[in-house]
Amino acid sequence: MITFLWALQANSPLAAYWVIALNLQRPDGLEPFVREVDEAVASWNTTNPTLPLNSRQNAVDFTNQANLPLMNSTIQETLRFATSVMSIRSITGTTELGGYTFNRGGEIVCSVRTVHLDPEVHEKPNEYIPTRYMTQNKSTKDGRPVMNHTMPFGGGVSMCEGR
């Protein structure tokens, strides 16, 4: 059974821990999140008076529909700031990357953390800024867009080693 739950065990509890731990170190702690959730619950209750949140389905619908920009940004920033994923990729044919030639049969270790902490991609990369992803700023490097500027679970075909 643990093989089916591996990804959940590896990612979700640690992400939740870091969201709480990093924000408790801030002067306002978790208060902004509590306020945002309270406002979203009040909005839900106003627009859905016959759908109480004590029902599992209603709670799922609330979670999918709630306007929680700070929470979403905080989770994304926490994953950028606190994760250190390394993906290993097999080389299936001679490939040149960054001026280096890699031959078939070899492997490349992709350290995503270096992108997460690159000052050319992220302003103040060594600072935890919960509101970082609340704006639509596009990450760039050398004047070109960086498509996968935050990859807390890796990349490629599976996007996550646990998938």
The per-residue pLDDT string of the chain (163 residues; one tens digit each, 9 = 90 and over) reads 444 455 555 567 777 888 999 999 999 999 999 999 999 999 999 999 998 888 888 888 888 889 999 998 998 898 888 877 777 888 999 989 889 999 999 988 877 778 788 888 888 999 999 999 888 667 777 888 776 667 666 555 555 554 4
Whole-angstrom distance, CA of residue 161 vs CA of residue 163:
6
Domain count, the chain: 1
Q: pLDDT tens across 32-51, in order? A: 999 999 999 999 999 999 98
* pLDDT at residue number 1: 43
Q: What sign for the dihedral angle of Cα 17, 22, 25, 30?
A: negative
Flag whether 74 is in a domain. Answer: yes
Flag whether 154 is in a domain. Answer: no
Chain centroid, CA 126 distance in Å: 16
Whole-angstrom distance, CA of residue 153 vs CA of residue 137:
22
Q: pLDDT tens across 116-132, in order? A: 888 888 889 999 999 99
Phi, psi (deg, nearest 5) at residue 6: -55, -50
pTM: 0.74
In this structure, what DSSP letter does residue 121 have? Answer: T
Flag whether 33 is in a domain. Answer: yes
Give the domain extent around 69. 2-145
Alpha carbons within 13 angstroms on the beta-carbon side of residue 97 total: 10
